[in-house]
Amino acid sequence: MTNGAHPVGTIETSLIYTCLIGLLCFTTALAPSAIVAEEAPFNSMAVTPDSVEECQVPRPPEDLAETAYLRNGYRAILRILVAEEGFETKTCKCLLDQFTWEAALNELPRFRTSDNPRLPFKVLDLYAMADALEAERMEACEN
């Protein structure tokens, strides 16, 4: 029969681990890293621009739509439009310069899957469609 006491070592072990974790956090916070010392100073939360590949649809401007979800959907629509135009014209050259963000906005009714203005389409489905069309076009151009 026990007298309600914890097994020997449980409390002591917990205290030791807590102290070690606290000490590790404290010393890590005090010791500046050599990597941090070499980096440029923190100025803003600016996002590093994507590396632009040839004929890659850029990130949409922030004022294109209220949310990132909508902007990403319009980006996928633009990718689809560019790939479709490549098939129609039977050309392998980049046709991105023939399209504007306005074109993607105008095509919304074609890709709309919902009456909800905040979720008018399924972005993942648009990504899948754009990826498939681009892959098909790339394969056609390689042959």
Mean pLDDT per 10-residue segment, the chain (143 residues): 54 57 53 50 57 79 96 97 94 93 96 95 97 94 87
Query: Domain extents for the chain?
Result: 62-142
Which helix H or strand E contains 100, and what residues bound it?
none
Cα dihedral 30/33/39/43 (nearest 10): -20
Residue 74, φ and ψ in degrees, nearest 5: -65, -35
DSSP 3-state of 33? coil
* Through-space distance between the first and last CA atoms of the chain, rounded to whole angstroms: 82
Query: Residue written as tokens 């504007």?
Result: 100
